[in-house]
Amino acid sequence: MFASKSVLSVCCCLLLCAVAGAQITITESDISTTIGDSVVFKTLVTGSTTVDVGPSGGPHVWTFDTAAFSGLVLVSELVDKATAPLGARFPDANIAIQQVYGPYGNWVFRSLGDSQMLDLGAVMTNATETLGVRYGTPGVNLDLPLTFGTQWQTTFGYTDTTSDTTQSVVLNTYRCNVDAWGTATCPVGTYPCLRENVFQTEITTNYLRGVLASAETVLTRRYYWLAAAVQSAVAMAHSVQGDTSSNFTTADDYMVLVWCNTGGVAEQRSPLVAPVMRIMPNPCAGNAELRLASGIRGPVTIRVCDATGRVVLRQTANANTMRLDLHGNRTGLYCCTVTAGSRVFTEPLVLLK
């Protein structure tokens, strides 16, 4: 009798685990495609961060705290492809993601279908130049629907000819496995998550006048905690270069979600050709320009709050373009709210000095 009860208990536990795991599923409808949706990550680049990843399986409870972070703030926003540098090179992309950190910009171009999300290429900018690469073969970013146990492998690469005499051929192989599930807690909240475990091999071969000059292989493991509720990753951890253990505990790059308007605002934005509101530059050093779509009529009220909710700037305007002066405020993440009649719009604003 005791043995029968034990077997029954074990079966019930296995069934509950299977059901709980099956409840976390990410499909193409869970991936944001609305221009203007944005998330903000805080990045700690240290080389010695301890990451509690837990073994494969689940359920796990992951906690990501940014209290001790002193790193960069990364804003990631969906933008109209036509506004992105070199966007015309990616006619088959239906998603363009703009990421800004300090003086640098990065645009990622993707194609989202009902069974896969493909990486097509990227464009990078700094104060002096713009560089773009289109992958020879698209890389599989996500294999959909995404559930516990999903796995795939993809290879993609590009050739970079920097001059008439030099050439670099970059080949990436990603081996992806959704190997754990549970709940992840970050400053934004607690969410059911799938953990994507990615093993990356990057081989860069350099040629000088057509002759092999050098070759380098870089091995990296990455973890992404993916949550359908925020249509994004809640946290990301990159292993120290060369550490390819299945459960690394030291991260070279650690990113945690600290703000999100994707799937969590009272008024969902329409897929406009341009966003309803845009702040430029963002991040800013103190002065920024707020631009509203032509359909927004004044007067409007603008309110900027810091991370604690304290109002640091309040003003009214009748124009669609106005100046925001944040001099005298601390470096950090702010929220800009525009009220136009009964309509309310928000946008993250990062102040860097």
CATH number of the domain enclosing 344: 2.60.40.1220
Residues 336 and 235 in one domain: no
CB atoms within 10 A of CB 248: 19
Report yes or no on 347 lying in a domain.
yes
Residues 224 and 282 in one domain: no
Residues 236 and 294 in one domain: no
**132 residue type, one letter:** G
Alpha helices of the chain — where are they, by DSSP H?
Answer: 2-22
pLDDT of residue 43: 87
Which residues are within 8 A (CB) of 343 and not within 5 positions of it... i.e. 6 or more apart? 267, 296
Residues 42 and 163 in one domain: yes
Report yes or no on 6 lying in a domain.
no
CATH number of the domain enclosing 145: 2.40.360
CA distance 87 to 54: 40
Residues 199 and 344 in one domain: no
Report yes or no on 66 lying in a domain.
yes
String of DSSP letters for 235-292: EEEEEPTT---TT--EEEEEEEEEEE-TT--SSPPP--SS-SEEEESSSBSSEEEEEE
Q: Is the peptide bond before 348 cis (omega within 30 degrees of 0)?
A: no
Q: Among the three residues 260, 287, 313, which one is the final residue of a domain in this structure?
A: 260
Residues 314 and 251 in one domain: no
Report yes or no on 269 lying in a domain.
no
Report yes or no on 321 lying in a domain.
yes
Nearest to 158 by CA among 139, 175, 142: 139
128: helix, strand or coil: coil
Q: How far apart are the first and last CA of the chain?
A: 70
Report yes or no on 335 lying in a domain.
yes
Residues 318 and 212 in one domain: no
Query: How many domains, the chain?
Result: 2
Give me the residues paired with residue 218 across strands: 202
The full length of the chain comes to: 353
Residues 117 and 177 in one domain: yes
Residues 70 and 136 in one domain: yes
Range of the domain at 199: 28-260
pLDDT of residue 179: 95
CA distance 108 to 87: 10
Report yes or no on 189 lying in a domain.
yes
CA distance 75 to 214: 36
Q: Among the three residues 226, 260, 294, which one is the final residue of a domain in this structure?
A: 260
Q: Among the three residues 260, 294, 325, which one is the final residue of a domain in this structure?
A: 260
Report yes or no on 255 lying in a domain.
yes
Nearest to 53 by CA among 151, 220, 196, 228: 196
* Residue pLDDT tens, the chain, 353 long: 333 333 333 333 333 343 344 468 999 889 888 888 888 898 887 777 888 899 999 999 999 988 878 777 888 888 888 878 888 889 889 999 988 776 688 999 999 989 999 999 999 988 678 888 999 999 999 999 999 999 999 999 998 877 778 889 999 999 999 999 999 999 989 999 999 999 999 999 999 888 889 999 999 999 999 999 888 899 999 988 778 888 888 888 899 998 888 743 322 233 333 456 778 887 788 888 888 877 777 788 888 887 677 889 999 888 888 899 998 888 877 878 888 876 667 777 888 76
Residues 182 and 85 in one domain: yes
Residues 109 and 162 in one domain: yes
Global pTM value: 0.71
pLDDT of residue 353: 64
pLDDT of residue 270: 31
Residues 149 and 283 in one domain: no
